Chain A
Amino acid sequence: MLKKYCYFLCLISFTNINVDAQHKLLICFKNIAGNQPLQKDSMYKNEFGELFTVHVFKYYISNIVLQSENKTEQFSDEYFLIDDADSSSKKIELNTNLNHITSLKFLLGIDSVKNVSGVQTGSLDPAKGMFWVWNTGYVMAKLEGKSASANTPQHAFSYHVGGYKQNENTSREISFKFLSGVDCSNKNCTITISADVLKWFNAINEIRISETPFCHEPGSLATKLADNYAQMFNIVKVE
């Protein structure tokens, strides 16, 4: 027991020495619809001319990897639920030792391991409403709203996109390279990433609200939506 504590404390103490070299990296998500900021109940138009509003927009970000020229940092056990209705959820704060970040990678969604490991806590708690209990697995991303084009009760459309098994996987790896690098050596820096809901309807696949207003299970519609939302991110600002 004592021995274990010695090692543990030594480890902690030594990391403490390095505290000065560590700095904070802030990744901010800014949800948009085309060139407008996303706002609840504002009207937007997709490429097929379908007008719609958005009430719910949520997605998981996980498995973040930062790289510099010769080092890699993985944040493998951290899972973030970005909820458009909760502004504090849109800022991810990471402690990094890298001075010069050349690339950023993350998973939009939850890896298959966490999909088969029982009940989790924190942002992965099934009570967060991002989990299917009858065909178990995480909902990687959710977009809900209303549109006159939706032939449904209350003209509601809702895309709950999930599925982790082979051929049904809806998590997507997103990566950005910074050609000139992000200099974090003497300051805390912020990378702002936009997420464009218009891409859900038309990026790789055409998804019309009039044709498919609902997605509530894993399968081909879910993977098509996933291929689309994989295209929704863009780096807006690095400072």
Chain B
Amino acid sequence: MRSFQIILIISLFIGTCVGWISAEEKTSAIHPLQFVVPKGWPQPVYDFKQNPLTQEGFQLGRKLFYDGKLSKDGNFPCASCHQQFAAFATYDHNLSHGFNNSFTKRNAPPLFNLAWQKEFMWDGGINHLDLQPLAPMTDTNEMAENIDNVIAKLKADTTYRRMFKAAFGDNNINTQRLTKALSQFIVMMVSATSKYDRVMRGEDTFNLPQRLGYDIFKRKCASCHSEPLFTDFSYRNGGLTADDFLNDCGRMKITHNINDSLKFKVPTLRNAEVTFPYGHDGRFYSLLDVMNHYRQGIINSNTTDSLLKKGISLSNFEIGQLKAFIYTLTDSAFLNDSRFAPPGFENRTQRPPLQHLHASVQGLQSAAH
């Protein structure tokens, strides 16, 4: 018993020393990063306790997001389909390009306000933000790589070894840390500084068409595109038919419930100005196409949303005003936020490629007419 006491005292002493040292290391090495919930918004659903945000984790995630190493041939980083100037959707593409001249099967969603999202993809098949990157990384028509190869490439890179150590405390590189770092980067993408947000905070005012558009929006759109996230995250059939090549039945693929046929997640309207084309397969090139669909293109089937069965009545004037309102959801501060730019490009404004810029100018002009 006596020897036990001595051992206890000695081990207590050692334990305290170790505790002291590791506590010192922690405070000196890792810089916590704060996630700010915009005023009046709901609490995020992402569990930050399981993945505490740090400067080091964020910077690692940012490097990974822009690194082709995550793809099979090095050409397809996350950012190849998720471009900042398109609010992290693919600019001016109905479907995105993937490995070996392939196309994706659906329109790339924009990335922002993901901390409030429970399920991911157009069909909600992915149940956690940390898991999301694994789908494009391994899909043969996207990044086409396997997880083991990605981990091996990262382990062979001294910069990554250093950055993983800085973010997580040691050199170990595994799937969990890879995806947690990516989550730290993308979860920080919050779009809440558009003109609409300034108006809601009382710092700005709508002009007449915007104000009229907001009234129309509240009457005719807000039941699905609910504020402040401009989606209620439900799955609905917006009166579509399946594309006869893609044959995409949407949510039914996940639930195996025939009542979910052709249902897709309600997309957010934030930054819609730069996320064209629209719809799960990008079939609507412009906002006008979307609104024309709602007023005269609805296909009634068993699963068509009850709110849309008769279409939405919209006059040409109302469409113009609605567009004026939707453009107030463009968050230029977010689109140009240097924190989300590729590492080393902080001070250079990213722009769409020239020919695309031209298309966008045309789009805006036709919108004005």
Contact = CB atoms under 8 A, between A and B. Distances in A.
A17 interface: yes
Interface stretch (B9-17, B54-62, B64-72): B9-17
B147 A127 contact: yes
Given A118-B131, A133-B131, A133-B134, A9 B15 contact: yes
A1 B21 CA distance: 12
B176 A120 contact: yes
B300 interface: no
B19 A1 contact: yes
A13 interface: yes
A127 B145 CA distance: 11
Given A5-B16, A133-B126, A126 B4 contact: no
B2 to A, nearest CB: 14
Contact of A136 (B7, B50, B125, B146): B125
B270 interface: no
Contact of B175 (A1, A9, A10, A126): A126
B11 A134 contact: no
B125 A134 contact: yes
B174 A2 contact: no
A133 B147 CA distance: 11
Interface string A150-173: 000000000000000000100000
A5 B11 CA distance: 10
Contacts of B125: 134-136
Nearest to B46: A118
Given A125-B175, A126-B175, A135-B253, A13 B130 contact: no
Given A9-B11, A125-B176, A118 B148 contact: no
A119 B179 contact: yes
A117 B176 contact: no
Interface in A1-17: 1-2, 4-6, 8-10, 12-13, 17
A133 B174 CA distance: 16
Contacts of B234: none
Nearest to B128: A118
A109 interface: no
B129 to A, nearest CB: 8
Contact of A13 (B11, B50, B134, B135): B11
Contacts of B7: 13
B135 A134 contact: yes
A119 to B, nearest CB: 5
Contacts of A125: 147, 174-176
B177 to A, nearest CB: 9
A119 B15 contact: no
Interface residues of A, number: 31
B23 A117 contact: no
Interface in B99-142: 121, 125-131, 134-135, 138-139
Nearest to B14: A9
Nearest to B136: A133
A121 interface: yes
B256 interface: yes
A119 B175 contact: yes
Nearest to A220: B256
A228 to B, nearest CB: 20
Interface string A91-113: 00000000000000000000000
A8 B130 contact: no
A137 B124 CA distance: 13
Interface in B258-313: none
A136 B7 CA distance: 49
B176 A119 contact: yes
Given A119-B131, A136-B128, A6 B256 contact: no
B254 A127 contact: no
A13 B131 contact: no
Given A10-B8, A119-B179, A121-B175, A5 B15 contact: yes
A79 to B, nearest CB: 14
Contacts of A168: 256
B225 interface: no
B222 interface: no
Interface string B169-203: 00000111001100000000000000000000000
B151 interface: yes
B72 to A, nearest CB: 15
Contacts of B175: 119, 121, 125-127
Nearest to B120: A136
A5 B12 contact: yes
A116 interface: yes
A179 B153 CA distance: 53
Given A5-B15, A119-B175, A135-B126, 11 more contacts: A2-B16, A9-B11, A116-B127, A118-B50, A118-B128, A118-B129, A127-B148, A136-B126, A136-B131, A168-B256, A220-B256
30 contacts: A4-B19, A5-B15, A5-B16, A9-B12, A10-B8, A12-B11, A13-B4, A13-B8, A13-B11, A116-B128, A118-B129, A118-B130, A118-B176, A119-B130, A119-B176, A121-B176, A125-B147, A125-B174, A125-B176, A126-B131, A126-B175, A127-B147, A133-B126, A134-B125, A134-B126, A134-B139, A135-B253, A135-B254, A218-B256, A220-B256
List 8 A-B pairs, minimum CB-CB distance, nearest first: A118-B130, A127-B147, A133-B134, A118-B128, A135-B125, A133-B135, A119-B176, A119-B179
